Chain A
Amino acid sequence: MKKQTFSVPDMSCTNCAMKLESLEDDLDGVREINASYHKLQMTVEFDESKLTVEQIIAAVKKKGYSAVPA
């Protein structure tokens, strides 16, 4: 399992964090996502053998946000 923190500068409310955390259910290989509107960050714990950082960034983009590895 790998833990990666991303900066997500375009979150505008706590609901954005909730939307990002919903990737837990959408992405295979994700164990847990903690997104914080206060910090404009999200931390993803995932299985490297099933998922890549690039795939996570693409999934975040699909939700309407941009993620940059911190």
Chain B
Amino acid sequence: MNRQNKPAFGPAILLALGVGLIAMSVIMLAAQNQGGEGFAFSAGSGFGGRLSVAFITGLTTGGLSCLAVQGGLLASSLAHQIEQDYAGPVRHKRGKKDKLVHPQHTNTALPIGLFLLAKLVAYTLLGFLLGWAGSFLTLSPLTRALLMIAIGIFMVGNALRMFNVHPIFRYFSIEPPKFITRYIRRTAKGTDTFTPLFLGALTVFIPCGVTQAMMAAALATGNSLSGGLLMLAFTLGTSPVFFIVAYLTTELGARTEKFFMRFVAVAVLILGLVTLDGGLNLMGSPLSFQNLSRSLLPPESPASVQISSSLPNSQGAATLYVENDGYFPQTLRLAANSPITLSLITDATYSCARDFVIPALGFYQLLPDTGTVQVKIPAQPSGTRMFFTCSMGMYTGMIIFE
């Protein structure tokens, strides 16, 4: 088909795509507010809640992080189109007079859409494979913590690279092998439909830090369907931001891109620090930001002060409420030098707070969404601080033995 005869993808189609993606986001957000019950694929496991968390992670952080890492592939897929569109005015002879004809500007919405569609399919398949592989192995909280710390360092290094802090940070950017880049480059000169589809699928080889964390989560599901759905929800979440920003940067030009890259660098830096902090939480390290602030600062909110229900009774028992937004109370003060039975109570809890970890004890259990699980804590000397967290290092708390 002649380039001039190609259909132009005007603002209406772009708007429809954007509205569609945002509508999906709203539906998923609404589902999360309902406790994710509508998406409970695994009966009684609250897996829908996890899908919502994965989607929101993609929507809020994954999109930017992925764009920072995979933007190059998207740019390659758009390069040919843009090169054609902006090849410059063509001089056509008309008798003795030359006439300047500007080529029709084809919108980049379609290739971006195709790129994202292929990415969605590829990552869903990857999640399927990871879940299947995960059925043969289990990631311990320590392994997951080390993975998160490594990912956090990778993300912080990438952010510092984007800020041009020091040449050493350039090595945080992975250079694909020459034969792959050559193959991608030659493919990018192919047909307009195939190129973005193919390059979108290739993004599985260059996952961003947040994506890698989600891949670890897919592996941890130990189920191919759950792994596939988790990656689908996450990748779907990354799509609106990816789409909007990629469209704006390709349409608005280099100046916007420069501004945007600064914005992405800040976002990736924050995300990297959060991931690093999550890894430290999961290791039970007192050096994580949350544990450090909890140890150094006096409790301010009612959630972090000692409440009567958490006091150990004469039999050495205490209660911790595991809710969708964390643990209550966040700080438990228990008697030293005597064993304690800690009751973990869940009531329609679907968030990752259910994946309860006490790193110092090597205790890790996925709690039922509603019910009580008891943990036997051996006697601890006075002054011991024992940290507990969810398996993602997001929700945390501390037990002080005194």
The reply to whether the CB of B333 lies closer than 8 angstroms to some CB of chain A is no
Partner of A14, one of B167, B173, B185: B173
B170-200, CB < 8 A from A: 170-171, 173-176, 178, 181-182, 184-186, 189
- Please state if A18 and B173 are interface contacts (CB–CB under 8 Å): no
- Please state if B72 and A14 are interface contacts (CB–CB under 8 Å): yes
Q: List 9 A-B contacts (CB under 8 A).
A: A13-B173, A14-B72, A14-B175, A14-B176, A18-B76, A21-B178, A22-B185, A25-B186, A36-B175
The reply to whether the CB of B71 lies closer than 8 angstroms to some CB of chain A is yes
CA distance in complex: A24, B170 (Å): 24
CA distance in complex: A17, B170 (Å): 13
CA distance in complex: A40, B173 (Å): 13
Type the 1/0 row for A10-34, where 1 means its CB is closer than 8 Å to any CB of B: 0001110110011011000000001
CA distance in complex: A31, B143 (Å): 46
- Please state if B175 and A15 are interface contacts (CB–CB under 8 Å): no
Q: Which residues from B are CB-within-8-Å of A21?
A: 178, 181-182, 185
Which residue of chain A has its CB nearest to the CB of B175? A14
B67 to chain A, nearest CB (A): 12
Partner of B181, one of A18, A25, A40: A18
- Please state if B185 and A18 are interface contacts (CB–CB under 8 Å): yes
B interface, size bucket = 10 to 19
- Interface residues contributed by chain A, number (CB under 8 Å): 14
CA distance in complex: A17, B184 (Å): 13
Q: Which residues from B are CB-within-8-Å of A37?
A: 170, 173, 175
The reply to whether the CB of A38 lies closer than 8 angstroms to some CB of chain B is yes
The reply to whether the CB of B153 lies closer than 8 angstroms to some CB of chain A is no
CA distance in complex: A37, B176 (Å): 11
Beyond A21-B181, A21-B182, A25-B185, is A14–B174 a contact (Cβ under 8 Å)? yes
Q: Which residues from B are CB-within-8-Å of A15?
A: 71-72, 75-76
Which A residues are within 8 Å of any B CB, using their own CB?
13-15, 17-18, 21-22, 24-25, 34, 36-38, 40
- Please state if B170 and A18 are interface contacts (CB–CB under 8 Å): no
CA distance in complex: A6, B376 (Å): 66
Q: Which residues from A are CB-within-8-Å of B185?
A: 18, 21-22, 25
CA distance in complex: A15, B189 (Å): 16
CA distance in complex: A41, B184 (Å): 21
B220 to chain A, nearest CB (A): 30
Q: Which residues from B are CB-within-8-Å of A36?
A: 175
Q: Which residues from B are CB-within-8-Å of A18?
A: 72, 76, 181, 184-185
B160 to chain A, nearest CB (A): 14
Which residue of chain A has its CB nearest to the CB of B184? A18
Q: Which residues from A are CB-within-8-Å of B189?
A: 25
B257 to chain A, nearest CB (A): 10
Q: Which residues from A are CB-within-8-Å of B176?
A: 14
Type the 1/0 row for B142-182, where 1 means its CB is closer than 8 Å to any CB of A: 00000000000000000000000001001101111010011
* Most chain A C-beta atoms within 10 Å of own C-beta, residue among B72, B76, B174: B72
Beyond A18-B184, A18-B185, A21-B185, is A34–B178 a contact (Cβ under 8 Å)? yes
Type the 1/0 row for B217-252, where 1 means its CB is closer than 8 Å to any CB of A: 000000000000000000000000000000000000
CA distance in complex: A38, B175 (Å): 8
A31 to chain B, nearest CB (A): 13
Q: Which residues from A are CB-within-8-Å of B182?
A: 21, 24
Other contacts beyond A13-B72, A14-B176, A25-B185: 13, CB < 8 A: A13-B71, A14-B174, A15-B71, A15-B76, A17-B181, A24-B182, A25-B186, A25-B189, A37-B170, A38-B170, A38-B171, A38-B173, A40-B167
Q: Which residues from B are CB-within-8-Å of A13?
A: 71-72, 173
Which residue of chain A has its CB nearest to the CB of B172? A38
Q: Which residues from B are CB-within-8-Å of A38?
A: 170-171, 173, 175
B99 to chain A, nearest CB (A): 26
CA distance in complex: A38, B166 (Å): 12
Q: Which residues from A are CB-within-8-Å of B178?
A: 21, 34
Q: Which residues from A are CB-within-8-Å of B174?
A: 14
* Most chain B C-beta atoms within 10 Å of own C-beta, residue among A13, A18, A22, A36: A18
CA distance in complex: A13, B75 (Å): 12
Which residue of chain A has its CB nearest to the CB of B254? A64
Which residue of chain B has its CB nearest to the CB of A17? B175
